[in-house]
């Protein structure tokens, strides 16, 4: 069921403390942690504590939590003193989503190309 922790979800296990992560921020609705395979000097994932398969499902069910993720992305950028940064939500395998728990990538600390690859 949407919103409920999933036994086979990596990010649900991080939220539950069952899998270690380098957590840098936590709120009532979100957790932010460093990506284990960073694609930029700063690469942080901001996730909702509730399980939703992707950003579209989260925004439809819990628009305030979706907004909380964007607010936390800003806080991460400020905390890491980024002059500029990119926030990316991948939705679906064709967009590169590999963990099916909604999450935002906060990337910064290097120049970014457009269009993204």
User: Is 31 domain-assigned?
Assistant: yes
User: Is 33 domain-assigned?
Assistant: yes
Residue 78 tokens, joined? 């400020």
User: Is 39 domain-assigned?
Assistant: yes
Number of compact structural domains in the chain: 1
User: Is 114 domain-assigned?
Assistant: no
Q: Spell out where the chain has E strands.
A: 23-26, 30-34, 42-48, 85-88, 104-108
User: Is 1 domain-assigned?
Assistant: no
Mean pLDDT by 10 residues, the chain (117 residues): 88 98 98 97 98 97 97 98 97 95 98 88
Model pLDDT, residue 1: 62
User: Is 3 domain-assigned?
Assistant: no
Beta-bridged to residue 33, according to DSSP, are: 23, 45
Verify whether residue 101 is a known catalytic residue.
Answer: no
User: Is 117 domain-assigned?
Assistant: no
User: Is 35 domain-assigned?
Assistant: yes
Catalytic residue (one of 51, 85, 103, 105): 103
First to last CA, the chain: 33
Per the structure, the complete domain to which residue 70 belongs is given by 10-108
**C-alpha dihedral sign at 62, 75, 46, 50:** negative
Q: Spell out where 9-95 has E strands.
A: 23-26, 30-34, 42-48, 85-88
CATH number for the domain that contains residue 49: 3.30.428.10
């Amino acid at each position: 069921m949407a919103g409920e922790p999933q036994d086979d979800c990596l990010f649900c296990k991080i939220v539950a403390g069952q899998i270690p992560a380098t957590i840098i921020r936590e709120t009532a609705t979100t957790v932010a942690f460093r990506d284990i395979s960073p694609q930029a000097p700063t690469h942080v994932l901001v996730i909702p504590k509730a399980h939703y398969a992707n950003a579209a499902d989260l925004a439809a069910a819990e628009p305030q939590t979706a907004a909380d993720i964007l607010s936390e992305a800003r806080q991460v950028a400020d905390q890491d003193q980024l002059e500029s940064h990119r926030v990316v939500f991948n939705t679906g395998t064709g967009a590169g989503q590999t963990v099916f728990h909604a999450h935002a990538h906060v990337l910064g600390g290097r120049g970014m190309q457009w269009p993204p690859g």
